[in-house]
Structure 1
Amino acid sequence: MATDDTQSLQSLGITPYFSSSSRDLRLDLNYRNIQRLPYDLFKLEDLQWLNLNVNKLHELPLEFGALRKLRWLYLENNLFDRFPDVLCELTALVRLYLSTNSLKMIPRDICRLTELRWLDLSDNSFWEFPLGLCDSALSKLERLIMDNNKLTCLPAQVSILKGLKTFHLSDNQLEWLPQTICDMVKLEELQLTNNPLKTLPAYFGERLKRLRILVCKGCPFIQPLKNSVDKGMTSLREYQGVINRRCEHSGLVYFKKQNDGSGEKPCYRMRTRPRGVAVIIDNLSDLGSKDRDEDGRTSTPSGHSSSDILRSVLLKLGFNVRMMRGLMSLDIISALRFISLEDHSYFDCLMVCVLSYGGQGKVIGPDGVSVDVKQLMEIFSRENCPSLADKPKMFFLQVLDKHPSSSPRSPGASGSPAVTPRNLNKGGKRSSQMSEDPTAALIPDDDDFLLTVAMVPPAAVCESLRDVYTLYVNVLFGMMEKYARKLNILDVVNAVHSEVRTIRIATVDGKGTSIKPIIQSSLKYNLYLSVPTTLVTPTSSLGMASP
């Protein structure tokens, strides 16, 4: 019950008043420690401005819908963990402030608030951008504040908010921005401070001509993009323009009509068969030998048959697949360097999939020697592998966060996970290798890289390769086989990560855990793993040449 029948506005010493400037009826109930609203509040049918900030409200009663003329509503610093459905009945709302609550979702009925111009959802608990906001009925929305949530990406449908002028997304976990953000041509201010973004969409500067304020402090952009952003929008437009003209002239980018009707979007060219080399480095195949019945028969697919599933998917996607198993750390480096020396001029991309032991930002071979992920990726940088310059290079890593010499643990085992001397510092504590910032730069300072890392926590019970594949690899390559030809690869990976986060993993202490995969991307364009039958000529308004 969200109404207090024993409490009135008079008992609280509160009186509605008229604004001296606009003459609208207002009421201040902020800082009142209110848990339930006074019963006579809903008799104020002409109320247009209501301040309920800093109270202890966790729901709103149905009677709240009687305030039909309400235009400004403040509900900041309360205890809402779900969006009050009754708010969708207040169709006269122009400004709605809901910051500093615990909201996770927005109902689709919010599209009924067709007069809404300002919406503040900062300091809440959104893991995903509310798709309910991506509705053309909200065409008057000009200011959207979503700072300090847990967003990892924006949906392509965000471009439906074409009237948006101010967009605040600081202090989230955004790993990439969709190309469709370039369609929000009325944007004047975009705040992206403290997000793990490595790049911006290629036509960001050219399309967003009205954008005057771009704040990206704390974003670890690749160089020289960072220098251009720091100098301002003019510098960014010049920098991106040079790159785009180069790729257009060389035919490495084409423009694809989107099924959602959002127009043409720049995409990496995918014309060749095979489309490129795909390397699978499987250093976990030995786990398969441990998954046997007592009579010695293999009860689940062996390590080889499991990794062959990857090979099958990549062959279907048109790759020239190279399978490598049990490589020592230096052998991993040597194998990738050898591939980088090949001529990739007639290929469109590269893919590397690594299953191994390791730590945050590192891969550990069977010899116990660690290699930085960034070191492996830099082998294919523009300087080291010129024939892959301006072409997408994809790295998918599934890493068991433990040393290869650690024995597998069963659910009934006691104590903490095995820790080897390599993971201990002088004080006997677990080293920082396993606790580094997951947003630290792992990709090179170069365009056209995609890295996804799924770190299986050290306490997880993983006794077979089947377990490891079920956690991430099967989900990833299953969705790639199904959708990679139809959807942008980043959208596919984001869907994979959303599903993987819901998988609970048994741990030695019985509490359970989950994988929280990360994405680091410097891809300039959309990437579809398909061969287009026809190429779309880009519109002349952008001054782009046909590929």
Structure 2
Amino acid sequence: MDEEMDMDMCFQRALLRVQESLSADELQDLLFLCSDLLCSRDLNTVSSGRQLFTLLQNQDLLSLEDPSLLIELLSITKRTRLMRSLQSDACMQTSGTADQPLQQQQRISRYRQFLYELSESICDQDLKNIKFLLMKTLSRKKLEQNLTLLQLFLEMEKEDLLGENNLDVLQRIFADIYPALGRKINQYKEENLNGVFIAQETEGISSIADLPSAQTSLSSVEMIDREMDEITLNENASGFSGDNSQHSDSVNSGIISESSEMPQIENSMVEQYEMKGERRGVCLIINNYDFSACGWLNREGTDIDHDSLRDVFEWLGFEILTRRDCTGDQILQALMDLSTQDHTQADCVVCCILSHGRLNDIIGVDGKAVPFKELMETLSPFRCSSLYQKPKLFFIQACRGTQNQRAVFPQTFTEDEDVLASDAGVPRDSIPEMADYLMAMSTVPWYASYRDKSKGTWFIQSLCDNLRLLVPRGNDLLSILTKVNADVSKKSDKSGLKKQMPQPEFSLTRTVVFPPPGLP
């Protein structure tokens, strides 16, 4: 009896540790995922993880003998470390459930998980746009509240605007605001519905038309359509901010048809660079390690970055060229050699430079400085006509000074920018010489960037991780770099005082969206 009490107490302590690790937003995520398992009246009273776990235990959905629901929730919300900690708990191992395959214990519906995945791709500005489109459909009082997207989904479900077999309204909204997600909804419908509804725990197959939840209010849909026709959602296509407002797939915006072909909409706000060439292009990686000739420190760990870049850009379809331990002149020569190639059948070109640096220069292994401007000019259309109107992408891992960025308290800045105009005429078919460039720097001017000798640099490793994660989701390159900014900004040294902030600078005239590997 005492042993059983000890195990129960151990389990409760494990639950307490989980709830103490959950943020308020993460708790709301769990409540949304559990909304099919618990009644809304009970969920509305929950303000802590402890209360949620008590509700689940009272409904026999969570226990020492079967903690699989909580493990599944932590897995869906990507709290992997917390999930593993829960699984490895001594009392859990004794219960014999920790090793059970998770897929055999799934209780959160694929529909609920899918909505959660959609919410992870939406920024604050997108949420405001969605609320605006729903202003005449849902209660204005509710919309003016600080509703999260998941809470908004629940409100749409109450009004029969959203359901497991009723995704049309959501698809039409997302197709206009974030076309990639509009197509993702269409793909979900084709894969999970395909004209029929198949319940997991039943044998019957019913037509979608026969299901009550499939009947959406026509007046509500028409009202939303009118709102979409009347407004233009202006996105900042020339700035760069952390709200992830520059989304990909603008060329293919619009309502997704039920056929497998995606309609091409000609009046999209921001076009994409074409990625339909016979080859993706060349990725040149300049990897400088040995600086013994000029007295600079060797760059321990740079080979880890090189291997990560080689793997991810090869995965994206690029031809990889590597140059190691280049002097200043050799760095320029490698780029000039690249400019002499014929890139007519290529979509773009990439240059990654891993080296020491100064404010506006890259340092060769001989100590010679090469200005960033000279690097870029080697690939200008005047020197390489086959790269005309094609993206030229530079990723620079180098310090730009010796100062250390300090950790600071969160602050909010308001920035008013004047728009400058020129009355000078510009030939209609011409482009500026330095158009179509991206220079993604590992740090802002005057500051150092950091390199882990055993794991590589913060910037390059985050770049490679996010390319692998977000390219298959249809995110454009600037959105991916925004995520890189966010990830690197959260890192610090062991003291917690030294920080790093990457800085992309660009003159791109369209969005860069790499086709997911495996697709034409």
Q: What interval of TM-score do these two structures reach, taking the shorter chain for normalisation?
A: 0.3 to 0.5
**Greater relative CO, 1 or 2 (CA 8 Å, sep 6+):** 2
TM-score, structure 1 normalization: 0.42
Structure with the higher fraction of residues in helix conformation? 2
